[in-house]
Amino acid sequence: MGRAFSVRELHAAALPRAPRLGLTTAYRAVERWRETGFIEHAGTREGEAVFVVCGADGHHHHLVCVECGATSVLEGCALEPARAASAAAGFELLDRELGALPARCGECAGAAPDG
**Residue ranges that bind Zn ion, judged by CB under 5 A:** 40, 54, 56, 65, 67-68, 70, 77, 79, 95, 105, 108
Residue 110 beta carbon to Zn ion: minimum distance, rounded to whole angstroms: 9
| Alpha helix stretches (DSSP H) within the chain | 7-14, 23-36, 80-88, 106-111
Residue 37 beta carbon to Zn ion: minimum distance, rounded to whole angstroms: 9
Asked whether the beta carbons of 50 and 4 are under 8 A apart, the reply is yes
Residue 96 beta carbon to Zn ion: minimum distance, rounded to whole angstroms: 7
3-state class of 56 per DSSP? Answer: coil
* Residue closer to Zn ion (CB basis): 4 or 54: 54
Half-sphere exposure of 72 (CA within 13 A, CB side): 9
What CA–CA distance (Å, rounded) separates 63 from 67?
12
* Residue closer to Zn ion (CB basis): 21 or 108: 108
- Beta-ladder partners of 102: 64
* Residue closer to Zn ion (CB basis): 23 or 112: 112
Residue 82 beta carbon to Zn ion: minimum distance, rounded to whole angstroms: 8
- Through-space distance between the first and last CA atoms of the chain, rounded to whole angstroms: 23
* Residue closer to Zn ion (CB basis): 6 or 40: 40
